[in-house]
Amino acid sequence: MELTNTNKDRKNKRKTNIDLGTMVYGKVPPQAKDLEEAVLGAIMLEKGAFDTIIEILKPECFYVDAHQRIFSAMQGLANKSQPIDILTIAEELRFREQLDMVGGAYYVTKLTNAVVSAANIEAHARIILQKYIQRELIRISGEIISDAFEDSTDVFDLLDDAESKLFEITNNNLRKNFESIDSVLVNTIKRIEDMRHKNEDVTGVPSGFPSLDRVTYGWQSTDLIILAARPAVGKTAFALNLARNAVMNPSKPTGVAVFSLEMSAGQLVQRILSAESEIWLEKISRGKMEEHEMKQLYAKGVQRLAQAPLFIDDTPALNIFELRAKCRRLKTRNNIGLVIIDYLQLMSGTGEGKQTNREQEISNISRNLKGLAKELSIPIIALSQLSRAVETRGAGKDGNKMPQLSDLRESGAIEQDADMVMFLYRPEYYDITTNEMGENNRGETHVRIAKHRNGSLETIKLRALLHIQKFVEDDAGGFGGTGLTGNWKPVSDVDGGAKVFVQTGSRMNDLPDDDDTPF
């Protein structure tokens, strides 16, 4: 008896309180077999059903192997312009020696019993596509997890590969469909009517320079704009002026993302503060400012910029996948309307560690930038370096140094992909200190629009005040009306016709040499 009780105690100890019925021993991949049968049956019942879903589904979207083979046979019949029905599909599968693999002619016939009509075939097809995307995400996630456990895997290659595979799912399965001309016409006419009733001519993101906006009507959505110049001409300063003018525009403030691959975020902010407060960049960089200048910096610079929708990323060697991911997040969370990249040649492609031609890499980057502009429906301004061909063209100090499209560095694809190409040119960069009238041209800057897909080609003249990192309209006075809005005033003329300015209450009694300031 004691032995029996002991055995019962042992059995009780082995008992568990876990309900085995609630345990999951495995997971079935997302699928919709019934809908797959309904879609295939509907295609065989109605003549135009296949054309409705061919842009949505591919054979691999079906979970059941037999359904993949049947849909592939339907594609084969459509390519041969043959009708799609029970008999033709059975014959096509027999020709491919796959009829027995799908369950014979009986199974093909059985599919038509799963549906009455093709009325909801598009909705059914989209659900099948969603299940396929879920399965693909599970597959890719599994591969990423497996690779992440490998010690030999380079983490940056892994990130790049993961981004590439996820983008491939989006690119291959979530493409925009065709739009009929009538719907496009309605939207176009509505846009034209809206512009007719607006008092302003700028339809895109304003540049802040009326003479430039007159030609471009602002930076237009989906456009890729290339801003190119030789080193130290003022590309970064001009680009930051464009960013500052966009975010600080009183009637149309626009969020801007600046990706700086060359300079730190702190250096960029110093330049923006200099332009906004009109205090010399050299003083801000060195922190050598008087008390009244600090007050001016806070009042005109810090307080104005503190709430501006300006986002700066100074990640070095940024690749196109990282850029795309960051821009998507900024567009979703902060609704940015303009992206500026400084500069194109410092970006890396997707093939680090692989044998990739640099020209092909730049071509791929410019192509992706254009695609990103279209995807997010925003303009992208990419700065670019010029080749040394500009320096070798012409003799001496003549004026034949204006950049050309062929001077774009490393790739002709930049010229092809861009909707607009602008060149910055400063005569004094080549020691040309007077214009054709013999007048001093210090700070004179030519913005040459060499390619404009949707407008005219013109050259705009601005005045560079690089000691405060600011550009102003040339007719705003240059140095006969500086364009400075602070407490500046002319005090005397100097050799060459230039005027000297001082800021009241400060010790600044002359203009610095622009070439002494890095830009």
* Residue position matching structure tokens 């070095």: 316
- Region of 483 (left: φ > 0; alpha: ψ -120 to 50; beta: rest) is left
- Residue 470 backbone phi and psi in degrees, to 5: -130, 145
**Length of the chain in residues, anyone?**
519
147 SS3 class: helix
**Angle CA 442–444–449, to nearest 5:** 160
Residues 428/441, Cβ–Cβ less than 8 Å: yes
Q: What pLDDT shows up at residue 150? A: 84
State mean pLDDT over 235-245.
88
Please tell me the least confidently modeled range out of 74-83, 339-348, 393-402: 393-402
Range 212-230 average pLDDT: 86
pLDDT at 509 over 60: no
Residue type present at position 305 = L
Give the per-residue pLDDT at 480.
34
Region 140-147: mean pLDDT is 88
Residue 268 has pLDDT above 80, yes or no: yes
pLDDT band per the 50, 70, 90 thresholds, residue 332: confident
pLDDT for the residue 10: 47
262 carries an active-site annotation: yes
CA distances from 164 to 130, 155, 259, 327, 471 (A): 20, 14, 21, 16, 40
152-161, 320-329, 437-446, 499-508: the lowest-pLDDT one: 499-508
Give the pLDDT mean for 165-175. Answer: 70
Least Cα distance to 259 among 383, 411, 351 occurs for 383
Taking the mean position of all CA atoms in its chain, how far away is CA 271?
Answer: 24
Beta-bridge mates of residue 229 = 385
Copy the structure tokens of residue 123: 């909705």
What letter would DSSP give residue 126? H
Residue of 325, 366, 359, 310 whose CA lies nearest to 343: 366
Are 271 and 354 within 8 A, CB to CB? no
Residues 238-261 have a mean pLDDT of: 87
**Confidence check: pLDDT of 234 > 50:** yes
d(CA 266, CA 102): 65
| Band of pLDDT at residue 127, cut at 50, 70 and 90 | very high
pLDDT attached to residue 199: 64
Q: Where are the alpha helices (DSSP H) in 174-250?
A: 181-196, 210-216, 235-247
Residue 355: predicted pLDDT: 52
Half-sphere exposure (Cβ direction) of 462: Cα atoms closer than 13 Å = 26
Q: How confident is the model at residue 69 (pLDDT cuts 50, 70, 90)?
A: very high
Please name the residues in contact with 313: beta carbons below 8 A apart, sequence gap of 6 or more: 257, 258, 259, 260, 265, 326
Domains and CATH numbers, the chain: 33-173 (1.10.860.10), 205-471 (3.40.50.300)
State the Cα–Cα distance between residues 311 and 249, nearest whole angstrom: 16
Q: Coil, strand, or helix at residue 422?
A: strand
pLDDT at 282: 81
Average pLDDT for residues 64-89, to the nearest whole number? 88
Q: pTM, whole model, 2 decimals?
A: 0.61
Name the residue type at position 352.
E
- Residue 163 confidence class, pLDDT cut points 50, 70, 90: confident
Question: Strand 310-313 relative to strand 256-260: parallel, antiparallel, unpaired?
Answer: parallel
Q: Percent of the chain, pLDDT > 90?
A: 4
Give 393's contacts (C-beta < 8 A, 6+ positions apart): 400, 401
Lowest mean pLDDT: which of 59-68, 139-148, 321-330? 321-330
Show the DSSP H helices in 32-113 as ranges: 33-45, 49-53, 65-79, 86-95, 104-111
Which residue of the set 91, 143, 262, 282 is catalytic?
262
* Nearest-angstrom CA–CA distance, 281 and 518: 10
d(CA 359, CA 265): 29
Q: How confident is the model at residue 430 (pLDDT cuts 50, 70, 90)?
A: confident
pLDDT reading at 38 higher than 80: yes
Q: For residues 247 and 257, is the Cβ–Cβ distance under 8 A?
A: no
Q: What H or E segment, with its residue span, contains residue 222?
A: none
Please answer whether residues 40 and 140 qualify as being in contact, where contact means their C-beta atoms are separated by less than 8 angstroms: no
pLDDT tens digits for range 346-402? 887 655 445 567 777 778 888 888 888 888 888 999 898 887 767 776 644 445 677
* pLDDT digits 0-9 by tens, 399-425: 567 777 777 766 667 777 888 888 888
Write the DSSP assignment of 199-213 as a string of letters. S----SB--S-HHHH
Beta bridge partners of 448: 423, 459
Q: With 70 as the cut, is the pLDDT of residue 187 above it?
A: yes
Distance CA 184, CA 168 (A): 28
The count of other CB atoms within 10 Å of the CB of residue 359 is 13
Q: How many CA atoms lie within 13 A of 387 on its CB side?
A: 12
Residue range 136-152: mean pLDDT, rounded: 87
**Better-predicted residue by pLDDT, 160 or 269:** 269
Give Cα 333 distance to the centre of its chain: 15
Q: Which helix (H) or strand (E) holds 442?
A: none
Name the residue with higher pLDDT: 256 or 412: 256
Mean pLDDT of 134-146: 89
Least confident piece of the model among 190-204, 326-340, 477-491: 477-491
Ramachandran area for residue 37 (φ above 0: left; ψ -120 to 50: alpha; else beta): alpha
pLDDT band per the 50, 70, 90 thresholds, residue 62? very high
